C-alpha cells in the first residue's frame, strides 16, 4: 500500500513538474491541457495561468505568482475588501477571474492592469445575490477591457455609472444578478459612454 502511495506521489510530482507547480494556495500552470479544466475552477486558462483559492490578502497570497502571468483565477475569502493597486505588478495580465463574496471593490483595485481584456466577477456567497458595492467607474483603469462578465451580484446597489470609463468594452454579460425586469441593468447601460456590441443577461 505504501509503495502505491509513493508511486502516486511521484506521478503527481511528475505532472506538476511537467505542466506547472503547486503552492499552499495556488496552482501555477505553465502549460495548459484540456484535462486541467476539469480540476481547475477557472473559466479561461490561456498562457501562464494561476488558479488560487482562500485568498485573504492579495499581495501576500499571490507573492508566489510571477508577474508575467497572463491569466489569474482567484477565489477570494468571504468579506475581503479589494485593496487599491493590489494586482498592479501583473503587467502582462490579460484575463482575470474573481470569485467570492466581495463586499466592496475600491477605486484603484484594477490600477496597473491596462493589459486586461477579459474580466469575470462572480459575487457568489451563502445567498444567491450579494450586495457587492461597486462604485462609480469601478473599472476605469481597465482601459483595454473588451469583455466583462458579472454573476450573482445585486445590480441595484451598484452605482448607476459603474460601467463608465471602459472605452473598448464590446461584450457585457450579466447572470443571476436579481434584476427586476432588467430595469437595473438598463439603467446602468444608458450611462455608458460607448455602445456595446453585445449584451447578455440571465436573471
Looking at residue 82, which CATH number applies to its domain? 3.80.10
> Do the Cβ atoms of 145 and 171 come closer than 8 Å?
no
In a domain, 4, yes or no: no
Confidence (pLDDT) at 148 = 92
Cβ atoms of 111 and 142 within 8 Å: the answer is no
Model pLDDT for residues 134-178, shown as the tens digit of each residue: 788 889 999 999 999 988 887 777 888 888 889 899 998 888 766
Q: Is the pLDDT of residue 19 over 50?
A: no
Neighbouring residues of 132: CB distance < 8 A, sequence distance ≥ 6? 101, 102, 103, 104, 105, 121, 123, 153, 154, 157, 158
Q: How confident is the model at residue 101 (pLDDT cuts 50, 70, 90)?
A: confident
Place of cell 501576500: 60
Question: Is 128 a domain residue?
Answer: yes
70 three-class SS: coil
**Chain segment 26-64, per-residue pLDDT in tens:** 988 876 554 444 445 676 677 899 999 999 888 889 999
Most confident range, picked from 10-14, 64-68, 84-88, 171-175: 64-68
Residues above pLDDT 90, as percent of the chain:
25
Considering the domain boundaries, does residue 76 fall inside one? yes
- Residue 176: inside a domain, yes or no? yes
Residue 39 exposed, middle or buried by CB count within 10 Å (0-12, 13-18, 19+): exposed
181 is a domain residue: yes
pLDDT of 87 > 90? The answer is yes
pLDDT, residue 35, reads 43
Residues 101-107 have a mean pLDDT of 78
List the single range of 7-21, 24-38, 65-79, 151-165 with lowest mean pLDDT: 7-21
Nearest-CA neighbor of 151 among 181, 119, 173? 173
The C-alpha cell of 162 is what?
459603474
All 3 cell numbers of residue 57? 490578502
Does 190 or 106 have the greater pLDDT score? 106
* Residue 46: per-residue pLDDT: 78
How many domains does the structure of the chain reveal? 1
State the residue for C-alpha cell 501562464.
48
pLDDT at residue 126 tops 70: no
What's the confidence (pLDDT) of residue 162?
A: 84
Specify the higher pLDDT residue, 110 or 186: 110
Most confident of 21-35, 61-75, 116-130: 61-75
| Domain assignment present for 11 | no
Which cell is 2 given? 505504501
Q: Do the domain assignments include residue 12?
A: no
Residue 152 lies in a domain: yes
- Boundaries of domain holding 112: 23-202
Amino acid at each position: 500500500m505504501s509503495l502505491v502511495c509513493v508511486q502516486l506521489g511521484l506521478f503527481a510530482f511528475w505532472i506538476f513538474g511537467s505542466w506547472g507547480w503547486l503552492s499552499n494556495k495556488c496552482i501555477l500552470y505553465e502549460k495548459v491541457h484540456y484535462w486541467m479544466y476539469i480540476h481547475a475552477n477557472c473559466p479561461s486558462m490561456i498562457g501562464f495561468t494561476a488558479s488560487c483559492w482562500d485568498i485573504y490578502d492579495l499581495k501576500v497570497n499571490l507573492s508566489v505568482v510571477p508577474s508575467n502571468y497572463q491569466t489569474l483565477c482567484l477565489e477570494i475569502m468571504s468579506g475581503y475588501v479589494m485593496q487599491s493597486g493590489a494586482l498592479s505588478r501583473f503587467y502582462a495580465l490579460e484575463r482575470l477571474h474573481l470569485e467570492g463574496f466581495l463586499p466592496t471593490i475600491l477605486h484603484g483595485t484594477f490600477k496597473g492592469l491596462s493589459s486586461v481584456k477579459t474580466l469575470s466577477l462572480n459575487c457568489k456567497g451563502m445567498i444567491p445575490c450579494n450586495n457587492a458595492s461597486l462604485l462609480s467607474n469601478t473599472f476605469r483603469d481597465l482601459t483595454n477591457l473588451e469583455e466583462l462578465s458579472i454573476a450573482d451580484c445585486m445590480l441595484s446597489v451598484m452605482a448607476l455609472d459603474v460601467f463608465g470609463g471602459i472605452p473598448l468594452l464590446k461584450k457585457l454579460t450579466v447572470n443571476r444578478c436579481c434584476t427586476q425586469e432588467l430595469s437595473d441593468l438598463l439603467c446602468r447601460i444608458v450611462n455608458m459612454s460607448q455602445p456595446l456590441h453585445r449584451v447578455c443577461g440571465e436573471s
